[in-house]
Structure 1
Amino acid sequence: MFNSKMLITFVCLLSICCFFASSQNVLSSSQNTSSSQTTSLQDISTQDISFIYEEPIKGLKLYTTVTFTLDNSLMIWMAFEDKDPACMLPYLHLRLMNKTGRIKYMDFNYTLPLEAICPITAKLLPLTKNHAMITYVKLNNGVKEKYGIIINYSNESTINEIYLGNANGFVRRSIVPDKGLISIEKPDKEGIATWRLFSLPDITTGKVVERKNGEFHAPNLLSYTLVDSLNFLLTDGGFGFMYILKYDETKESSVIDPNLQYWRVYVSFLREGADSPTIPSLVYQTTKKLNNLTIKSCSVTYNAEGYVCIMTLNNTITNIKKSNKSQTEINYYQLRFLSTGALERLNIISNPTNNTDIDLITLYYGGFLVEHIHGAMDFYLLDDSGNYMQSQGSFGPEFVYFNIYTLNNTIVGIKNQTNNKLEFLLKSLPRLNNQSTDYYCPVIETTNPAINEVVDPSIKEIIIKYTIPVKLSTGNVSIFQQSDDPSKPALLRQTFSGDYKLCTVGSDNYTVHIPIFESTFSQPNSSYYVLVDNNFVISQERDEPLMGIGNKIWMLSTEPLKTVRYSDSVTGLLRLNEEGSLKFLQTNHSVFFKNMIREFSKTIPVAEQRLSTSGRWQYDPTSSKKILLSFNIKEAKDDHAIELNSQTIFEILRTLIKQKRFTALSSNEYTSLIDESAPFIMTRNYFEEYRSLIIIFIVGLVVLIILYILARLKNPEAKNSVIFDTWFIIQDFAVDLAFVLLKVNNTPHLKIQHCAICTIRIVFFFFSFLKKIFFLEHHLLDEHEQDYCLQFL
């Protein structure tokens, strides 16, 4: 267990390494955890982190670990061993360690298919923060095929089997979080590789849908033989496919061509949104009769130089000085090419181990990592040109599992399990490009506002400054408001592509200015994040797409609402487009209004009780096929809660409608039917607003007229108009009093002045009323005296 000093040391190391790590030890069914720190016999620097994980379920053994690059979490798959060493028991136990070091324990109540666990063919592919896919191979009519099942981390969804293709295919998730996954089969004898593009699991049902499919075709198979193929991820969310071809010498002519290319490497791109891949481009060829040519891996470059592949050339050379003795040499090269298929760079990579049995990894922040396993695992750092820089240490022979966390430049080694304990060691690697470590994007220098900054709701723009000159492209920049409920998705506030002419590039060509709508940061005391898609901008020099900023990295917030200026209820009028107008006429009107109010409530957002409708509608006089709908925004009723006033909500909704195509309104079933070309205008239904007062006035007026007629009939000579004067004095007092009482909330800082004026009005009314009564009595008395005198005479 940690004492306080060790705990402080652990937290400091965690901050330095920018990586998650924590020791977890389940103490009870409530999954309380604790941490313990250990040392190891291997090379450990002061910045390394070592910790022990204790598995709470006895008998579970580590099967494998997988990194989830979207949030730098580590998935630990634990399993029960079977009597047959080629099998394991079908129970699924996953441990998800997030970047804060906490472990989520997932012990599923269903079993895996037999084909996945005996013999073991199962592989784990994390897809989203709630779902993963387990792929496996099974036999159908004598043919091995690959299938997948979707599992929900909450253990709620039903396992549905998905056909993925032949057994030798590859399944990969797009580099862009919401772009789905692909299954690419190994090419057949004719060089045809079938691909299938799938959606990500539905957030509620977990269902995966096949969106499209097609084929990759290898070129030049008349003279060449397809030796191998490789797939890789594209920056824009698509997928690349590489072919390695060797000249077929059985078809060689009697005349030897000295310029004959014995080996060729082609690449084809299935870009995001495309229905078919590009025509293969030749990126490498050689006249040497190599023993073999292999591509180890391909990945995106951090500095907008396209893609980099690790290529090995196996060649036999003859040493004339040593009696023509032959020897085999294996050299490593980096092959860089652009998304157009044009070759960018080809150069040899140094091998500091002088051993051919090495692994080379391209690092996200530049350079390469050389791994050499010879009992222990040594690793070395190379620069962008492949030149040796320095040794980065080693893991001892007791470490059997290794993972690398791309965004953190960190290697984790796991020792062989002892009883129920797993020991982890994390080693942080230097970043050759140390710019923008907070954004996990090496080409971003700064942003304004910065991460975790409090923004003014009236902010007009946000700014991104890049490290290289850029141009706007087709990727989106989006702003989301986080939900108070972690189980609910974030609310989209605005989104548009870089090339839609709303964004601008500054005169320095390094800064991008992104406009902000008035409705975007309108909610007080809320958290937001800016999501920048890959390919939002491209480099000016090469037109290569740049990496963006992922989910919940560029976080922003707004201050709590302290005071609110009161406003009355507001009525607004909007117009439906032709499709919406037709649907309105064909749908129950009350249902249509109710659904639209519900969608407004979620999008603004505001309590649904603040929105209502009279149900009134009419055809637009300026466009006979379009319909106008009326909606009411009620004033805030809760005196104890600080809420947005009705006028502010109206302005938010007006902006959302004006910018509908860039806001969440466009993605809803009913609000998407609004015609954004017609503004949301404020209207006043005076009869509805003052109906009660009008009724009171009319009834009072009728009563007065009746009283006046009766008085007139009884005494035609009297000044019966005093009845009206008295009524108007009472009405004036009532209106003044109602105005003061109802409108005092508009100016709370003038409440004392309102009360003083109200008191003066009451006194004035009292004396005016007494005056009228006195006049009336005096007038009646004079008439009575006149009658008495006439009778006396």
Structure 2
Amino acid sequence: MVLALQVPPSVVSTVDGGYMFIYPNITTSQDPFSSRTGLYSVYCGYGSNIVREPVILYETILELNIVGLNCVISHSEVGQICLITIQPNSTDLIPIPVYIQVNYLSLGSVFDVKRVYATLPTIIGINQLTDPQFIINPLPFGGYFYSVVQTTNMSSDVWGFVLDENGKFNPWDLSYPTLSDSNASHQILTNNTLAMLQPIVGQNWSLITTNLYKIHKDNGYDNILIRNTTPGIHKTIPARDTNPLSITYTIPIVLSNGTITIFQSNGSSNPGIVRQTINGLNNQNYVTFDNDTVSIVIIESTFNNPGSTYYVMIENNFVSSLLYNEPLPGLSNKIVWSFTTLPEEEKEKGGGSKIKMFFDGIYGKVKLTKTGTAYFDTLDPNQINEFFNNLTQELANAVISKRISTNHRFVIDTSNIESTSNQYLLSIRIDKPQSASDRETKLIARDLDAMIRNMNITVLASESSSKYLEPLYGYVTIPRWYENFANIFQLILTVTFFLILTILCIISIHYDAKIEVKSGANSSVRKAFFHIMKSDIHKLTQSVNLCKGREGNEGREVNERRVVDEIKSNHFKVYLYGFNVLSFVLDILFAKVEAGSVKIIFFVSVFFVTVPYVIKLGYVVYIILSELVRKENSEDSVQLLDESGEKGDPEDLNDQQDGSQGQQDGSQGQQVKAKEKVTIKKWLEDSKKHKIVLVMLISLAGTDVGVLEIFNFQFCGYKFNIKLSEKFQQRVIIGEIIGIIIKNIPELVIRIYFLNRAIDFSYLSILTPLVSLIKILSLFVNFTKLMKIKNNGS
């Protein structure tokens, strides 16, 4: 489209960020009802290359002589205004131009057209001028700056006035006329200040300025559509204040697609540090409006720095006129709406002494989104380190603290069992303060949590690494061990478990003590109780002794006492069986609760729970089958006497030398009972329930082969009464050694690796390697017991 334009067109920006190409056009027509003169515009939206069809801004059937256009954004009304300067067909010596003002919206809709009436003051002396220029410009605070310029050689005489909507001329503060350089135009600033260049003399030049009369009241915001704000201009507020920001307009409004941004001044001319950014349409959880007032939700991290200056900038399209749905101008000057925080920050309640503050570092964790986790999985180790470094720097910039660091550890979040996303948790540390003036660590943690949870209105949403953080998770501090209720509860459960074992042990000892008193072996239950406990402790120490024991008469005397002591088998074995149960339960809990948080660990843990179980289960079946098929021989009677005496105490004779005849009768009674022992095959044939019990024991022995030693254990008179071979005990010990080698040693390595990767150490993650270590140490005891049995057999 080629246009033959009468005057230069006007290219003007619109409030919504677009542009308009405005041009006049005159056509010749014989139709008296057709338009001959018109003003047209072509709109182009922001970021768009689509050019729309021209729209009509003004048309008339008169053929007008348009000599000038002045189109600008209206700062005193809604939308844009375009002043058309028309040269009248007049016989006057100096004809005065006619002005028509067109009010239109961003998309070209016209809502008002009016003529601007201007009767020049007599002070100008218009008839005495030769070829003057008449210039009119819209003013930011309403009205127009009307000037008459008479050019003479290198200078110009200027008469200036402020013309209001009623045609009244308000004088300026300068003299009439005022000299100006003839080659320079005057400039009107956003605060209604006029600046003119005075005539240049040689190489010297100067400016003259004046504040023009404001038609509409200025509330201090350089925007007459804003009535007031909270907090007000240059006010002081408490640090960490979360009271809403409010803006009250002079007309009813609705929210639009622009943003309002809160900055913290960094002492330079650049925008500063972004603290919070809210879009009128996209962040409606943080912004509300009521007729003419907008309220902005403030998160606690926004004004977190005591004694700092903050300022607010509003985009033109943040709100729109309710009547016309036209974007309203905002605040683009950061020095207009500013305020400061009090120099002293409110201390965290219960923060403790300043000395404690220096030891107040905090470990915490953040969570990646599903998209962030998928991206993280594509990174190699060097890129992972770079990601961590970028993330800590972005978080440090966001909370304005240099104390954000990391140990580059990450785990899988296993808190949501139903989730299959396997999102990562990253370790983020807030280092302890270096000086008394540093902010409290807990306050920094709260700021970090608030900024991540409200990430879509903070700078974190636009950074390269922090944009992958999960807002719903925030920043979760890792409590110290003693501050974690779950850890304390698990510790109480563990202590309770061992207390129950202790009670069972005491009950068993007390029962045997009463039996010993009844048999006449001791005069009181109390003495018998401590005697049995002393004997059990001695047996524990003897079990790790490589010496074969005393020979000769002492050895024969011990053998004679073994039958009597059969009813007093080592009661402390209750702890052994309980410890085996605890170990197996911890293995399952570790695989289910902890192992899944570190890559590969879960599958390895499951492998070393199931595969060793199957191997040990097969070995246990082999032990039982060996006992079932073994042939009973004459040695069994001797074996029978030896079974309960393997752990006999030679000192028992010394303690009981003054025993009564009742003691001998009790011994004879026990010998009769001992001879009633049967083979495991015969025991199974006695009752169907015995087969169920054996299956249960074999299943439990798959966790620890040592469970089979329960055949030699009795509790309060209850016992299996089974006759077992010497090889049975050897095989059980060998099975325990095999279990430690194929299960406990790999488990300890796995759990040390887990601790090296984990970011949060629970009671369970500490207890499981400790139990594995104890099991491994028992390997030496088992080797000792095995050697002792072989030495005794030889």
Structure 1 length as normaliser, TM-score?
A: 0.53
**Structure 1 548/417 Cα, relative in aligned 2: closer, same or farther at 3 Å?**
same
Matched position secondary structure for 1:538:
strand
* The one of 541, 565, 568 aligned to 2:323: 541
- Other-structure match for 1:335: 102
Return the alpha-carbon distance in structure 2 between the equivalents of residues 420 and 264 of structure 1. Answer: 46
1:671 shift after superposition: 0.4
**Structure 1 622/453 Cα, relative in aligned 2: closer, same or farther at 3 Å?**
farther
Matched position secondary structure for 2:9:
strand
**Structure 1 327/302 Cα, relative in aligned 2: closer, same or farther at 3 Å?**
closer
1:287 shift after superposition: 1.0
Whether contact under 8 Å (2:392, 2:428) holds in the other structure is no
Could you tell which deviates more after superposition, 676-685 or 531-540? 676-685
Whether contact under 8 Å (1:524, 1:558) holds in the other structure is yes
1:516 shift after superposition: 0.6
Whether contact under 8 Å (2:16, 2:106) holds in the other structure is no
Instruction: Report sequence identity in percent.
Output: 22
Return the alpha-carbon distance in structure 2 between the equivalents of residues 665 and 461 of structure 1. Answer: 21
- Other-structure match for 2:275: 493
Whether contact under 8 Å (1:561, 1:642) holds in the other structure is no
Whether contact under 8 Å (1:365, 1:442) holds in the other structure is yes
1:674 shift after superposition: 1.5
- Other-structure match for 1:615: 409
* The one of 210, 215, 225 aligned to 1:427: 210
Whichever residue aligns with residue 59 of structure 2, its letter is Q
* The one of 542, 554, 573 aligned to 2:337: 554
Could you tell which deviates more after superposition, 511-520 or 397-406? 397-406
1:681 shift after superposition: 3.0
Whether contact under 8 Å (2:365, 2:427) holds in the other structure is yes
**Structure 1 713/574 Cα, relative in aligned 2: closer, same or farther at 3 Å?**
closer
CA RMSD of aligned residues (A): 3.6
- Other-structure match for 1:383: 164
Structure 1 residue 244 corresponds to structure 2 residue 24: yes
1:225 shift after superposition: 7.0
1:398 shift after superposition: 5.8
* The one of 447, 462, 468 aligned to 1:652: 447
Whichever residue aligns with residue 348 of structure 1, its letter is V
* The one of 113, 117, 122 aligned to 1:345: 113
Return the alpha-carbon distance in structure 1 between the equivalents of residues 5 and 269 of structure 2. Answer: 52
Query: How do residues 63-142 of structure 1 correspond to structure 2 at under 5 angstroms?
Result: none
Whether contact under 8 Å (2:430, 2:445) holds in the other structure is no
Whichever residue aligns with residue 345 of structure 1, its letter is V
The answer to which structure, 1 or 2, has the higher relative contact order (CA under 8 A, 6+ apart) is 2
Matched position secondary structure for 1:596:
helix
* The one of 289, 303, 321 aligned to 2:76: 303
Whichever residue aligns with residue 675 of structure 1, its letter is E
Deviation digits for residues 146-191 of structure 1 (CA, Å, limit 9, x no counterpart): xxxxxxxxxxxxxxxxxxxxxxxxxxxxxxxxxxxxxxxxxxxx23
Query: How do residues 162-181 of structure 1 correspond to structure 2 at under 5 angstroms?
Result: none
1:385 shift after superposition: 4.6
Whichever residue aligns with residue 334 of structure 1, its letter is Q
Matched position secondary structure for 1:638:
coil
Matched position secondary structure for 1:421:
coil
- Other-structure match for 1:404: 187
Return the alpha-carbon distance in structure 1 between the equivalents of residues 170 and 326 of structure 2. Answer: 28
Return the alpha-carbon distance in structure 2 between the equivalents of residues 539 and 418 of structure 1. Answer: 50
Is the helix fraction higher in 1 or 2?
Answer: 2
Return the alpha-carbon distance in structure 1 between the equivalents of residues 229 and 25 of structure 2. Answer: 46
Structure 2 length as normaliser, TM-score?
A: 0.53
Q: Give the number of equivalent residue pairs.
A: 465
1:360 shift after superposition: 0.6
Return the alpha-carbon distance in structure 1 between the equivalents of residues 262 and 273 of structure 2. Answer: 9
* The one of 627, 645, 650 aligned to 2:423: 627
Deviation digits for residues 569-592 of structure 1 (CA, Å, limit 9, x no counterpart): 333333212332122122232222
Return the alpha-carbon distance in structure 1 between the equivalents of residues 83 and 438 of structure 2. Answer: 60
Whether contact under 8 Å (1:231, 1:240) holds in the other structure is yes
**Structure 1 491/686 Cα, relative in aligned 2: closer, same or farther at 3 Å?**
same
Deviation digits for residues 471-523 of structure 1 (CA, Å, limit 9, x no counterpart): 22111111111225x2775221111122342355554x222111111211122
- Other-structure match for 2:148: 372
Structure 1 residue 585 corresponds to structure 2 residue 390: no
**Structure 1 227/555 Cα, relative in aligned 2: closer, same or farther at 3 Å?**
closer
- Other-structure match for 1:209: none
Whichever residue aligns with residue 361 of structure 1, its letter is N
Whether contact under 8 Å (1:363, 1:369) holds in the other structure is yes
* The one of 439, 451, 466 aligned to 1:643: 439
Whether contact under 8 Å (1:316, 1:327) holds in the other structure is no
Whichever residue aligns with residue 423 of structure 2, its letter is I
1:420 shift after superposition: 4.8
Whether contact under 8 Å (1:236, 1:534) holds in the other structure is yes
Whichever residue aligns with residue 611 of structure 1, its letter is S
1:306 shift after superposition: 1.6
Return the alpha-carbon distance in structure 2 between the equivalents of residues 303 and 488 of structure 1. Answer: 28
Matched position secondary structure for 2:401:
coil
Whichever residue aligns with residue 98 of structure 2, its letter is N
Whether contact under 8 Å (1:377, 1:396) holds in the other structure is yes
Q: Which runs of 5+ in 1 are unaligned?
A: 1-189, 192-220, 320-325, 695-707, 717-793
Whether contact under 8 Å (2:34, 2:61) holds in the other structure is yes
Return the alpha-carbon distance in structure 1 between the equivalents of residues 425 and 314 of structure 2. Answer: 36
1:466 shift after superposition: 1.4
**Structure 1 656/640 Cα, relative in aligned 2: closer, same or farther at 3 Å?**
closer
Whether contact under 8 Å (1:636, 1:643) holds in the other structure is no
1:450 shift after superposition: 0.9
Deviation digits for residues 643-702 of structure 1 (CA, Å, limit 9, x no counterpart): 232x22222122111111111011100001112244443334859999xxx9xxxxxxxx
Matched position secondary structure for 1:549:
coil
- Other-structure match for 2:42: 268
Q: Which runs of 5+ in 2 are unaligned?
A: 151-155, 492-535, 546-794
Whichever residue aligns with residue 457 of structure 2, its letter is F
Matched position secondary structure for 1:603:
helix
